[in-house]
Every structure is written in C-alpha cells, then in structure tokens.
Structure 1
Amino acid sequence: MEVPGEPLLRLRGLSTDIALRRGTVHALDQVDLEVRQGETLGIVGESGSGKTMTVLSIMGLLPPGGSVVGGEILFDGRDLRTMRAPELRRVRGVEMGMVFQDPLTSLNPTMRIGAQVAEPLRVHQGVGKAEARERAVEILRRVGMPRPDKIVDDYPHQLSGGMRQRVVIAMALIRSPRLLIADEPTTALDVTTQRQILELIDDLREEFKMAVILVTHDLGVIAGRADRVAVMYAGRVAETATTTELFRAPRHRYTEALMRALPESAAEGRLYSIPGLPPDLSRPLTGCRFAPRCRFATDECRTTDVPLTGDGHAFACLHPVTEPITIAASAGQARAAAAPAEPILSVRDLVKEYDAGGAGLRKGAGRVSAVAGVSFEVKPGETLGIVGESGCGKSTVGRLVAGLETPTGGRIVVDGTDIAGLDRRERHRMHRKVQLMFQDSYAAMNPRMRVDSILTEPLEIQQVGDAAARRARVSELLDQVGLPRRALERYPHEFSGGQLQRIGLARSLALRPRLIVADEPVSALDVSVQAQVLNLMRDLQGELGLSYVFISHDLSVVDYMADRIGVMYLGKLVEVGPAHQVVRAPRHPYTQALLDAVPSPDPGHTPSPDTTIQGELPSALNPPTGCRFRTRCPLAQDVCATEPVLEGGGHQVACHFPLREETQAT
C-alpha cells in the first residue's frame, strides 16, 4: 500500500564508517530511504548488509568508532545531524522509539519492570513517580501484558521471552513516538509468540498513527507486515518497491537469490545456496557488490558502479530478473518410507521433572513437569523433527537423548542400550554414538581454543587413535563440512555464523556417531546461510547414514529436513506422523495454529484469526489437567479435562476433537 503525504523520515546519501584498529569499515554507502506516517518500511538482507547499521545511524547509537560521515537524516524536515545535543536528545527520547533484537540484554536486570518502562517519562518529561507507574501499567495493558499491575513489580528474569519483548515495546511506546524502529524484534521467538508480537506492532501502528521501520532477515515477516521493502546488500540499497510488487516481480538478482533460498522454494529436494560471502567493506570495492556471488554477472558488472534507478520500483542491476517468481505455500514432498529396520533410537514413556526451587532451594515449591510421558522412535538414516513453542520441552528431550541430563522416568534405548539407566561414566562412552549440535555454536565453543583443538578434543577425551590418526580425522572433518585447512589455526570469534555452525557440525561428527540431536541449528542464521547448512546436513546424512533428531520452532525448515514430525506442547507429544501429512493435513488444533503462525513469503497470504493461539503458555509447575492445550484451544469442551491418548496408526494425534479434512491445511 502506498501511503500518501510527505515522508516523516528521509535518508539522503547516508554514509557511515566504523573505525577499527585494522582499518575503517565503510558500513553504509549512499543510502537513500524514506518512510511516511502510518507506513511500515521493511528492511531485509543478510547479516552485514547494513540493515542494523542504518537504524543505529538514525538513532545515534552507533558502536565505538562509528560515525555518520555523509548525507542527511531528515526527520519531519529537520536534519538530525545538524541539531544541538539537547534538541537531538529530546527528538530521540520523545519522538522516536526503538525495539531491539534481544529484549533480555535491552533490560536492566537490577530494575523492576515498572521503573524501566516509566523511566523515559521521568527523564524526558519530569513525570512524578506515582503517575509514571500508573502510565506504565496502562501501556503494559495496551501491549497485551497479562496482569500488568503485578508485572510492574517483577524483574526481567521472571518473564518469558514474549513478555520481555512486550516490555521493550511498551518502553518504546510510552512516549507515543511518531517513529518506531523494530530491529529483528522476533528473531529469538517461536512462531506463535512472533505472530502475536507482529500483530501487536501492526495494531499499535494504527492506534498511534506511527511510522514503523521493521528490520529482519525473514522474508516471510516482511511479506506479511510491510507496505514497502528495501533490500540491502553490502551497505547499499539493492532494490526497493512496494511489498506486493517486490515479491511478485523482484528485479535485482540478489533479491531473487534470497527468495530461491527459502525452504518453500526448494526444488528437487535441495535448497538454492548463494555461493561465497559478502564483501569485506574495509577494502575498496568496484562494480556491482553482488557480482562475485551472482551467476549472471558479466565483466561489465564487475567494473561498473550500478546506480539505484527506477520510479517506484528501483533496483541497481544490469541484468535484472525478467520472469515473476512463484513461491509455493509449502515445498516439502512425501518421502519414501524407511526400510524396515531396528530403530537406532527408541524413547518410551520419557519423563523429566525438576525441583521448582532449583539446587535444593525453596523445598516444597513443587515440581516442574518438563517432559511427561513422551514416546517415539528414529530409524537408521531417518530424521525426526520435533517442533513446538518455547517451553514445550523439545530441547529437554534433546538433552536427555544426548545423555546430558538424567531422566526422571522412562527408557532411552540407543542402538540397543538403555542409556537412561547408565551411570555417568557409561553415558560418557555413549557419546560415541550420540552427539548434540547446539543452537549457538559460538557459545558452545571455548573462545580460547583454536579450531584444531576444538575438533581434536572429543577424540582425545574418548581416546580415539594416536596423534597422527587424530590429525587425519580432523582434516577429513574439514573436507566433509567444506572448510579450508587454514581454519584450524583460527579462533571461534574469527568466523561467521554459518562457518561456526559448520565447525559445530564437524565436532559432532568427530566420533562418527550414528545419531545427531540438532537443537535449533539454523534458527539464528540468514536464509542464504541457512540453506547452505541444511543442504550440508542432508548431504552428510546420505553419505554417512546419519539419523537426526531435528529440533526447531520453524515448521518450514522441519518440513524440508524431516521424514517424520512430532509436535510437542507443554511436555507432551500431541501429534506424530509423516512430515508431509503433519504439515499439509494436521489433525491437532495446536499443529494447525503453529502452521498458521508461520510467516509466509506470499504477501497475499492471510492467516485465519480463528487459529491464533491466545495467551501465554501455562506454567509447567502446574499444567492443566487432561489435555494440556485445552486452556488455549478454540475447540475445547468438558471432555478435554480427561487426558486424550496418542493414537491413529501412522499419523497419530492426542485430541478428543481431531480436525476434519475441511479444517486442515492444504
């Protein structure tokens, strides 16, 4: 939708540098953007493209060494670069608001929620303490916070991820700003919470008549929420258009490559992967910055600095896309059934409970029911996807299977051995057969160890081979995950996110396991890097005969990777079946709600409001009796107070009112 009127914010030739000891990074180069009152501008691109640096330049929150070196930042006709400091602080403090990617690090852990939400009022408007608290409660209520009069006295660590994000939004909105900047506001959230937060921003935009800049690497988020889109690459705007026009007929080859890398666009069982890496912005660049990675690039592209041209739909490409791109609603396909074989993993009636007091404190506070009677199997060479909201127990299941935690009850049989009954030393030996691939590979590595030591460590701990054999195995691992030998001498902080995930995969392969538990392995990656890692995991599965337990909240990714899918809710499996059936013909209302919450890269897609999950996930300390989903289910009746049984043959569901064909996804 084209919003009439003069732009509220206009960037003209914005250029930003970051001075480092090794040189100067030219983070932004001649960026032109604008956003009008009541409009949402989406900014999308890979990590390092300049998305976040653009909004930090607007807000004056650049990192040390950062400075705007050229251009104008016009807000309501006033250039922020020429303002005096007091006036600039007032504009940023009152007329602009920003929602950061990680709400936990954006909040002061030592301050109560109410004090943090009200702080802008007290600093910029001199509001008294009592009035500030009252207005904090009101804005928390308007952003959908349950029990806001109680929440104001809590600390950030006492809230869920979705609730913390609502607090950060409340902080940004309490001054009724004219411009709201949301920088990756839903990256770390599951799909249901993500949908609630994005709908909240939409509603508040209409209520406050704000302009919104939405920064994300998720094309689905952009398609469903933005009026116009700017695609950035290597510090420049590569393409800009209305959302409908951009997704219907992208012109820049980089935009096309991003769309083809989506799991929904997988062709012949493989994701398109953009080759190479973005350029080093500390070095002089000539020609089109995407040319080294573009399959259509010519010598002219490598030598010609292509300007952004076009009226309404502008792009900087000498060989633009000429055919419209069609993105399927879902690209997964029915897979051949696994040959009859003994399962590599058999989980039966798995239970995990924690003392609510933690480490023996607050005895009698109760028990947290993290996993409650879960059963499933994984056959050799098969991938089981486990999906669900944050707090559903899927990561706990992964840690139990990997032997990192001891179950409260049940059996975990790996290759014929029940690891649930093993002592610590025996479970340690089972790590040769089962390995865990972490979500955050950097956090899982010792930052003081080089890659050579990181990959050799599991071989040394398990006493596999001599020094020469270990060196040979490490070299073999690098070849398998596509990293050069020189990577061995570098430290984790010297790698990109995708390279770190390759190192994490290599480490999990070091002992030649038969089963890998992959816990959200691509959730923090750009769509292009995600495609590379997923393709690599599937290639190695075929080459080595690996089995995966693939844990994720992204159903489009799980649909691409998995043979079968298990859907978890509050510690229980509510649906299990072949991936293509679970995704295209879900039988449980919760599964349907998860599917409808997945952001679609189709701007015309409108999820049904009837399938929106209401409210927060109930506490695992006191879960609902019977069906645990009944407190949030639109189909719930009195009979749901009795627990349903997971049944149904190949496609099982635990529901008293399983979905009929006419209500299922197509």
Structure 2
Amino acid sequence: MSAPTDPTEPLLRLRHVSTDIALRRGVVHALDDVNLEVRQGETLGVVGESGSGKTMTALSVMGLLPPGGDVVGGEILFEGRDLRSLPPAEVRRIRGVRMGMVFQDPLTSLNPTMRIGTQVAEPLRVHQGVGKAEARERAVEILRRVGMPRADKIVDAYPHQLSGGMRQRVVIAMALVCSPRLLIADEPTTALDVTTQRQILELIDDLREEFAMAVVLVTHDLGVIASRADRVAVMYAGRVVESATTAELFRSPRHRYTEALMEALPGSASRENGSRGRLYSIPGLPPDLSRPMTGCRFAPRCRFATEACRTTDVALSAGEHGHACLHPVEPVQASSARVTLVPPEEPPSEPAAEAILSVRELVKDYEATGGGLRRASGRVSAVAGVSFDVHPGETFGLVGESGCGKSTVGRLVVGLEEPSGGRIVVDGADIATLDRRERRRMHRQVQLMFQDSYAAMNPRMRIDAILTEPLEIQRVDDPATRRRRVATLLDQVGLSRRVLERYPHEFSGGQLQRIGLARSLALRPRLIVGDEPVSALDVSIQAQVLNLMRDLQRELGLSYVFISHDLSVVDYMSDRIGVMYLGKLVEVGPAHDVVRAARHPYTQALIDAVPSADPGLAPRESIAIRGELPSAVNPPTGCRFRTRCPLAEEICESEPPLTGGAHQVACHFPLRS
C-alpha cells in the first residue's frame, strides 16, 4: 500500500493502546490507554522516568514485546493501517522496510560473531531479496552516510573492535538501510559522551530531513528533548500525562510531574548566599503496575495532591497542550520566560590551604598487546603528567570524554592501580613510601564509589555482609560495634534497617547507589572518589543521590573527587573542576569560571555539546569536536587536542604548559574570558 499523500495526516497514530506483560507473579499493565501521533518529517520526544512506559510504547509499535507481552487493546495505525489487524508476515515486512528502530545498547543489539557489513546488509537480503555483492555495496554506502570513517574497512570488522559512538552509527545504519518512513530511537545517546551524543543527535536530524522520516525519540534526558524534538509526550506509570509542542511544554509545563522533573535538573538549583541550593527530589518510587490503581497515578508522590487526586481518574485534556492533572501549574504568559534552569553567577569560594590529597605528575602507562601470541605492541598512555590538589570539605570534579583517563586517575588515587610515575600524597604521606601495613591503614581514608553499584557487589551476599565486609577486612572494632556502625550507615543514607536481610538484585538503581555510598563510608574516610556515581540514574533519582552526597559532605566533612562526563552535574557538585583530554589536564579552575568562562577550546566544546533544557535560549556560534578520539597508543605530539581543534596551528605541535593562577589552561590560543 502506498504512503498517504496528505502530509498533515499522522504517519503513526496510537489510539487507546494498552499493553500487558504476563509474569509468573501476575500481569503488569505496562501501558494503559496511550494516545500518541507523529507526522512525516516530525520528531516526537517521549520522556519520563524508568518504568514510565516509554520503551514499552516503542516495542508495542514495533511488535518486539518481551515474552508474555501483548497489546491487549487499542489501535496502532501506521500509514493508515492498523498493525494489530494485519497478518504477522505483513507486520514483519513493514517492520523491516517501513519502520526502523535504534536500540539503547548498541553492543547487545549487534551479533558479536558477525561482521558489521553482514549485519547492516541483512535487512536488504531478508526483506528486499538483494544479492550479497549489492547488499555489501549498499551497506558501505549507508555507513558512509551516517558518518562512519573508513566505511569500506569497517564492514569487515566485528562489533567489539569499534568504539561506542561507532557502534551507535552502525545500529542507525541498520535501521536506515531500507529507507524507512519512521525511525524509533530508544535512548540512543544514554551511554555516550556529550560530544559523541551531539554528533549522533545531529546525524539523526540530518537523516530525518534527507529521508523525510518521522522520528520518535525516547529518552529520560530533558535537554535532548528540548534541543531536538518538535513535540513532547510526558509519560508516567504507563500513561501520557502531558503533551504539547516542545517550546510550550518547557516554557509552561502544566502537569505536576513534568514540573517536578524540571526542578530535579542540576541546572535548576538556585544559588543563594554563595552556596548551591538543593535539587527538588521526587519522593517515593513509581507505582507497581501489576496492582490495581485508582485516581492519579502520580498522587502518592505529588506535593500538591488532594483527596480528589487519589480517587479521580483524570483523562488527558484535549487541545494542543493536553495534561491530566486536577491541580495543574498555572500557565505562564507568552511574554514571560522561565529562568529557573539558568543559575545566577556567584564568585568562587576559596578552598582551605592544606590539601588532603595532592597528586603530582601522575603517569600511568599500560602495555598494549596484539597478535595471536599477545606480543607487546606498544604503550598505552592513559595518564600523562596529571597534577591537582583536593582540600578538606572540597569537591574536585574531573570531566572529559570516555578514554580521557579520568577513571584511571580515580583508580590510581584509591590504590586499585599502581602508577607508572609521579606522586600521590594523602594527608602528607606519599603512598609510594609506605609499607604494606601503613598503606592499608591509609586506604581507610580514601574510598571509591562505583558507577555500577550492582556490579560492584557480590550478588550472593546479603546487604549486612556487604556493609560489614570493609570493617572485617580492616579489622576495625568488634562484631557488636560493627553491627551498630552498619545501622548508623543505613540511617545516614536514608535506608531502612530491614534492607540488611535482602540481596542486591532486590533493589532499584537509586537504592543500590545509596548502599554503595554507605559501603564507601563504612571506614569513616576523609576522601571519596565517585566514578560516574549518578550517570545511570533517572533525573529524579539522580537528584536524591546528589542531595544525599552534599548533605553527608557537610555533616561529615567529606572531600570528593567527582568523576563524570556530565558537565551540568559536575558544575552542581564541584568547587573546582579539572578537564581531561587523552591523559592530560587541559584546564583547571573554580567550577564557576571553568563552566561560564572556559579558556580551553576543548572545554568550550564540551560545554557547547551539552543539550540545554531550555529551548528558548538563542542559538550561538559554538565549537564542535569532530572525529574520533586519537589512540592513546600513539597520541598526537604537542597538544594532544590539536588534531580535533578548530583553532590549531603549527605551534600546537609543541606541548603547552598548564599555566595561570587559580584558573589554569594548557593552550597556545586560550579563549578570552
């Protein structure tokens, strides 16, 4: 059937769609009466917390529901035809040719045993009967169109040989190879750095125009939605609770859930009397969708809820800006501007004079191996001459792309790696000069908070054993005192003592991060290294963990090394920021100065790549990083950023020193403050 000729008619329309997932313990009502539509050439953003139904909506459209899943009601109209009424073979043909999907994790979406070219060409061979040679040629062509370098070589590579950004381009190429009219992108940039994220989002925009596609962009990142979507649907507990144009929704959100999501963003915290305010934290957890519910599903977590909210089931109102709320936010007049997401400037605070951690000319090289006999093939320069201090009660933020060396620095500081050179001084003692017993005692003062707390815990150990283990290993206190210490830790991180009898798999991501923080506090350290501690969390849970970390810092006098690729989070948490690129610090200074008056082109490019949750901001000229991060086996001579820097000249082949006062920069052509 040919495509509809009227461009004003929706290409995809969901009418009263309900989806159930049958489990052994019952039935999860994943979607309940969902209504959505998207037109040709339009991008619809679907946003909400984990469990809100975003991904389940996409999978319902594509017919890729998990075992036990079934669309039990409503219509899914694509090009005017209800997919639910078509034969399975016809749905498969439409799904393979007319619709494409980009999944969240490209590595698990790709077959590790198949070459890239074979996987990209597979839809052509299955759905269009294209020959092997022609399919390979078209695979190379589509890989080039999605910006893949050396596409003719990449087709013979395997997924594990590619970077995260390159794998994401491959799954986009797979989705586009049959020239679909609808592209569904499910969290396509969640695990990517801001620079790679910007490239991928710009690529999707360009391809949307080139192919005249409709795009459904599923994400929990409000900044991505604000900068890329034409219209937005906000989902909560399996329902659409607000729908509007992007500009209207961000200027004047109506539903209290949408308002709460925006107030939980790190950039929304005001700064009063020289200190950062608290982020709004949505209390509680989303409801259990396997249980019957009455009234507004957000009511148990809403600060404005009344008894009527708990008993009245509110439908999405009609019109261009629909919402399902009995006590909506008052509409903002068109002439007004939302300013809550742009914190006012503040002068940087002066840190204490004596450093608890002093890192000097830190170096870490790894031996690179290759070939069948794993022979040495060079040296990986992971960290190359990094120096910084952390003072009592201070948060020092480390930011940069994946592969820049920031996590390696963290592992060196906590003693999980041995440095190849340089000094790490904790409380005035050089770690390298300490004997084994002294070093073990020193490690009580420095602890690590992992990015993935679940992976860092033994799944066969209960929480009481996990929290007690550091005390037992360090032979601290007697058993009774340890039990009291564990109870105190749970109080400090806001968890019930009943969790001690449970196992890691029984907790949500936010609860696991609280347990991970409790474990890092067990030995009463003075310094905690947080390695991407909130990168995998929804914005509401992220706000809870960040508030908790700041509260404990004030209460216990903690210092943090906060490692992240998210500049907005680093800006909110940090007193000073160090920006790393390919093993080197290129800029160090007060957080306020680094973020709002960057001096290194790389820092400014990171800032420009961060999506702003304010579509009303006027566009300005920005610095865009192009290409892939160079290999650390053979890094560029001189300034390591010069091969990707738009300002680079011949002098950049000589290495610039890190110079300046409180705000230092390593650049021959620093930006003006």
TM-score, normalised with respect to structure 2: 0.96
Q: Does 1:322 align with 2:330?
A: yes
Q: Does 1:365 align with 2:377?
A: yes
The one-letter amino acid of 1:212's match is V
Aligned to 1:356: 368
Q: What SS class does the counterpart of residue 11 from structure 2 fall into? A: strand
Q: Does 1:207 align with 2:210?
A: yes
Distance 1:431 1:22 in 2: 45
Aligned to 2:414: 402
The C-alpha deviation readout for 1:142-193, integer Å capped at 9, x for no partner, is 0001111111111111111101100110110001111100000000001000
User: 1:276 pairs with 255, 280, 284, which one?
Assistant: 284
Q: Does 1:110 align with 2:91?
A: no
The one-letter amino acid of 1:14's match is V
Q: What SS class does the counterpart of residue 322 from structure 1 fall into? A: coil
Q: Does 1:32 align with 2:44?
A: no
Q: What SS class does the counterpart of residue 350 from structure 1 fall into? A: strand
TM-aligned CA deviation for residue 608 of structure 1 = 4.5
Q: Does 1:346 align with 2:354?
A: no
CA separation of 1:606 and 1:419: change in aligned 2, threshold 3 A: farther
The one-letter amino acid of 1:648's match is G
Aligned to 1:528: 540
Q: What SS class does the counterpart of residue 392 from structure 2 fall into? A: coil
Distance 2:440 2:163 in 1: 33
Distance 1:290 1:76 in 2: 34
Aligned to 2:304: 296
User: 1:621 pairs with 629, 633, 640, which one?
Assistant: 633
Distance 1:107 1:239 in 2: 34
TM-aligned CA deviation for residue 326 of structure 1 = 2.9
Tell whether the 8 Å contact from 2:431 to 2:439 is kept in structure 1 after alignment: yes
TM-aligned CA deviation for residue 117 of structure 1 = 0.8
Tell whether the 8 Å contact from 2:370 to 2:377 is kept in structure 1 after alignment: no
The C-alpha deviation readout for 1:78-114, integer Å capped at 9, x for no partner, is 1111111110110111111111111111111111111
TM-aligned CA deviation for residue 448 of structure 1 = 1.3
Q: Does 1:82 align with 2:95?
A: no
Aligned to 2:3: none
TM-aligned CA deviation for residue 491 of structure 1 = 1.2
TM-aligned CA deviation for residue 310 of structure 1 = 2.5
Aligned to 1:235: 238
Aligned to 1:180: 183
TM-aligned CA deviation for residue 363 of structure 1 = 3.0
Tell whether the 8 Å contact from 1:31 to 1:237 is kept in structure 2 after alignment: yes
CA separation of 1:159 and 1:17: change in aligned 2, threshold 3 A: same
Tell whether the 8 Å contact from 1:379 to 1:547 is kept in structure 2 after alignment: yes
TM-aligned CA deviation for residue 360 of structure 1 = 11
Q: What SS class does the counterpart of residue 369 from structure 2 fall into? A: coil
TM-aligned CA deviation for residue 122 of structure 1 = 1.2
CA separation of 1:70 and 1:425: change in aligned 2, threshold 3 A: farther
Aligned to 2:601: 589
Q: What SS class does the counterpart of residue 38 from structure 1 fall into? A: coil
The one-letter amino acid of 1:483's match is L
Aligned to 2:101: 98
TM-aligned CA deviation for residue 223 of structure 1 = 0.1
TM-aligned CA deviation for residue 232 of structure 1 = 0.3
Distance 1:359 1:171 in 2: 30
Aligned ranges 1:531-550 → 2 under 5 Å: 531-550=543-562
Distance 1:40 1:473 in 2: 52
CA separation of 1:270 and 1:335: change in aligned 2, threshold 3 A: farther
CA separation of 1:510 and 1:314: change in aligned 2, threshold 3 A: same
Distance 1:491 1:261 in 2: 29
Tell whether the 8 Å contact from 2:608 to 2:622 is kept in structure 1 after alignment: no
Tell whether the 8 Å contact from 1:276 to 1:293 is kept in structure 2 after alignment: yes
CA separation of 1:150 and 1:427: change in aligned 2, threshold 3 A: farther
Tell whether the 8 Å contact from 1:327 to 1:601 is kept in structure 2 after alignment: no
Q: Does 1:225 align with 2:228?
A: yes
Aligned ranges 1:395-544 → 2 under 5 Å: 395-421=407-433, 427-544=439-556
The one-letter amino acid of 2:249's match is L
TM-aligned CA deviation for residue 621 of structure 1 = 0.7
Aligned ranges 1:512-661 → 2 under 5 Å: 512-605=524-617, 608=620, 610-661=622-673
The C-alpha deviation readout for 1:530-559, integer Å capped at 9, x for no partner, is 100000000000000111000001111011
Tell whether the 8 Å contact from 2:198 to 2:609 is kept in structure 1 after alignment: yes
User: 1:311 pairs with 319, 322, 331, which one?
Assistant: 319
CA separation of 1:359 and 1:545: change in aligned 2, threshold 3 A: farther
Aligned length: 658
TM-aligned CA deviation for residue 605 of structure 1 = 3.3
Aligned to 2:196: 193
The one-letter amino acid of 1:495's match is F
TM-score, normalised with respect to structure 1: 0.97
The one-letter amino acid of 1:622's match is N
The one-letter amino acid of 1:302's match is R
Distance 1:360 1:149 in 2: 25
Aligned ranges 1:17-28 → 2 under 5 Å: 17-28=20-31
CA separation of 1:7 and 1:72: change in aligned 2, threshold 3 A: same
Tell whether the 8 Å contact from 2:352 to 2:392 is kept in structure 1 after alignment: no
CA separation of 1:419 and 1:563: change in aligned 2, threshold 3 A: same
Distance 2:562 2:56 in 1: 33
Distance 1:155 1:607 in 2: 39
TM-aligned CA deviation for residue 19 of structure 1 = 1.2
Q: Does 1:165 align with 2:173?
A: no
The one-letter amino acid of 1:145's match is M
Aligned to 1:149: 152
TM-aligned CA deviation for residue 9 of structure 1 = 0.6
TM-aligned CA deviation for residue 423 of structure 1 = 6.5
TM-aligned CA deviation for residue 334 of structure 1 = 3.6
Distance 2:432 2:145 in 1: 47
Q: What SS class does the counterpart of residue 528 from structure 1 fall into? A: helix
Tell whether the 8 Å contact from 1:43 to 1:229 is kept in structure 2 after alignment: yes
The C-alpha deviation readout for 1:368-398, integer Å capped at 9, x for no partner, is 1110000000011100000001111101101
Aligned to 1:246: 249
The one-letter amino acid of 1:181's match is I
TM-aligned CA deviation for residue 328 of structure 1 = 3.3
CA separation of 1:247 and 1:362: change in aligned 2, threshold 3 A: same
Q: What SS class does the counterpart of residue 271 from structure 1 fall into? A: coil
Distance 1:81 1:448 in 2: 43
User: 2:398 pairs with 368, 378, 386, which one?
Assistant: 386
Distance 1:221 1:21 in 2: 37
Tell whether the 8 Å contact from 1:410 to 1:420 is kept in structure 2 after alignment: no
Tell whether the 8 Å contact from 1:248 to 1:326 is kept in structure 2 after alignment: no
Aligned to 1:376: 388
Distance 2:109 2:474 in 1: 41
Distance 1:308 1:195 in 2: 33
Distance 1:120 1:447 in 2: 39
Aligned to 1:664: none
TM-aligned CA deviation for residue 139 of structure 1 = 0.5
Structure 2 residue runs without a partner (length 5+): 1-5, 333-337
Q: What SS class does the counterpart of residue 576 from structure 1 fall into? A: strand
The one-letter amino acid of 1:326's match is V
Distance 1:83 1:377 in 2: 65
The C-alpha deviation readout for 1:458-480, integer Å capped at 9, x for no partner, is 11111111111111111001000
Distance 1:418 1:95 in 2: 63
Tell whether the 8 Å contact from 2:219 to 2:225 is kept in structure 1 after alignment: yes
Distance 2:449 2:656 in 1: 33
CA separation of 1:446 and 1:581: change in aligned 2, threshold 3 A: same
